[in-house]
């Protein structure tokens, strides 16, 4: 179906770049981008794999070796040399 639409310059430029990169004409590129955005909206985000600590920052699960300050300092010194 043929339609005229007004879109922002940056959106048109993005669609043209997308079309050129994928070997599409502009109409096919816009159609694909709209369909991709529809699928992206319907996808439920997965929960974060790292739990959050009391302060709200991500923390690693309590398994494996503990990383100490001395280990970090040693690693930094090894990189410098």
Please write the tens of the pLDDT for every residue from 46-69. 776 777 788 888 887 677 777 888
Q: What are the sequence ranges of the domains in the chain? A: 9-42
Is the separation of the CB atoms in 16 and 26 below 8 Å?
yes
pLDDT band at residue 80 under the 50/70/90 scheme = low
Give the burial string for 36-69 (b: 16+ CB within 10 Å, else e). eeeeeeeeeeeeeeeeeeeeeeeeeeeeeeeeee
Task: Kindly state the average pLDDT of the residues 38-52.
Answer: 72
Q: What is the pTM of this model?
A: 0.49
**Residue percentage of the chain with pLDDT more than 70:** 86
């Amino acid at each position: 179906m043929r339609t005229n639409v007004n879109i922002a310059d940056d959106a048109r430029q993005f669609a043209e770049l997308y079309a050129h990169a994928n070997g599409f004409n502009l109409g096919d590129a816009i159609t694909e981008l709209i369909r991709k955005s529809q699928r992206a909206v319907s996808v439920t985000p997965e929960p974060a794999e790292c739990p959050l600590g009391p302060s709200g920052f991500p923390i690693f699960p309590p398994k494996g070796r503990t990383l100490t300050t001395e280990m970090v300092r040693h690693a930094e010194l090894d990189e410098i040399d």
